């Protein structure tokens, strides 16, 4: 029995990493199903990945390559579930938008590629056409999360940028780049190398803005703690002041002193103010006849 080649081992590792890429959104969709809302999450990356995995499954059948068929077939099934859940829980406007994208890309475009390549081409030409299209779509899969980066920059938060998806896309691009060199496959190599670079940028951005979010949160918590401490300190000082005033008042009364009496002018002014603000209660209360006339 022949020993496994290096390319086969790297390919198996690539399959494992790719499966992890496809499984990473499970946590995101668990939250979507629990909240019954998609929030600010974007559905475009999953639609692009569905198209990409579907086409690379077709490429693996044409070459043939069992590693590509296995991982991309499983990936296509998972992406179909994600897209379906996203459309179910998306708002009405977003639902219509994503349904149109699915119809255009995953049904119309993919169906056209299958028909044209099966009916109008054959042999190596068919493989090259599917390879070029697959390479372009792989770039779309790696570049789709870049749409989220604008939201990250504006909000300075990585809440809607899933870390594991970002990390495994970065790792997936690196492993499949190595595999492409070993098997000398240009169509696999170019998009995954570019994907590795884009994944690196996204990962760096996640780390930067995640640290900023933590530092901002800690500073807010610190201000809240300081504010609470100031309130407690102020309450204690007020309590001490009141106690001191009470002691002085009691001491003054014991010594026979009395509080300063207000002048006659002040007393008259106080009486005028009280009279001007006092209201006859009986005039405000409605009579029984008025109450009945209102309710009737």
* Nearest CA among 40, 56, 37 for reference residue 48: 56
Please give the average per-residue pLDDT across 266-295, as a whole number.
Answer: 44
pLDDT: which is higher, 137 or 33: 33
Average confidence score pLDDT of the chain: 76
Q: What is the pTM of this model?
A: 0.62
51/110 Cα distance (integer angstroms): 7
| pLDDT at residue number 243 | 65
Give me the residue spans of the domains in the chain. 6-221
C-beta pairs of 57-62 under 8 Å, 24+ apart in sequence: 58/113, 58/114, 58/130, 59/127, 59/130, 59/131, 59/134, 59/187, 62/126, 62/127, 62/130
First to last CA, the chain: 100
| pLDDT per residue as tens digits for the range 100-136 | 999 999 999 999 999 999 998 888 899 999 999 988 8
């Amino acid at each position: 029995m022949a020993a496994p080649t290096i390319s086969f081992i790297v390919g198996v590792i690539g399959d494992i990493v790719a499966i992890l890429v496809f499984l990473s959104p499970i946590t995101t969709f668990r939250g979507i199903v629990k909240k019954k809302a998609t929030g600010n999450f974007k559905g475009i990356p999953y639609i692009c990945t569905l198209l990409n995995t579907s086409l690379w499954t077709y490429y693996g059948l044409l070459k043939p390559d069992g590693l590509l068929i296995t991982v991309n077939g499983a990936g296509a099934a998972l992406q179909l579930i994600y897209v379906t859940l996203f459309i179910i829980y998306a708002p009405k406007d977003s639902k219509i938008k994503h349904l149109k994208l699915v119809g255009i890309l995953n049904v119309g475009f993919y169906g056209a590629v299958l028909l044209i390549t099966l009916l109008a081409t054959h042999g190596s030409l068919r493989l090259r056409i599917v390879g070029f299209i697959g390479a372009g779509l792989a770039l779309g899969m790696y570049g789709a999360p870049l749409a989220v980066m604008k939201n990250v920059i504006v909000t300075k938060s990585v809440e809607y940028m899933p870390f594991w998806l970002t990390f495994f896309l970065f790792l997936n691009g690196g492993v499949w780049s190595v595999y492409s060199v070993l098997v000398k496959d240009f169509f696999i190599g170019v998009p995954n190398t570019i994907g590795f670079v884009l994944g690196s940028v996204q990962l760096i951005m996640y780390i930067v803005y995640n640290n900023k979010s933590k530092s901002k949160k800690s500073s807010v918590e610190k201000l809240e703690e300081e504010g609470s401490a100031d309130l407690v300190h102020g309450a204690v000082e007020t309590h001490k002041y009141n106690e001191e005033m009470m002691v002085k008042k009691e001491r003054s009364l014991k010594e026979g002193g009395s509080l300063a009496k207000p002048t006659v002018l002040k007393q008259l002014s106080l009486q005028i103010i009280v009279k001007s603000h006092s209201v006859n209660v009986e005039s405000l209360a409605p009579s029984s006849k008025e109450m009945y006339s209102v309710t009737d």
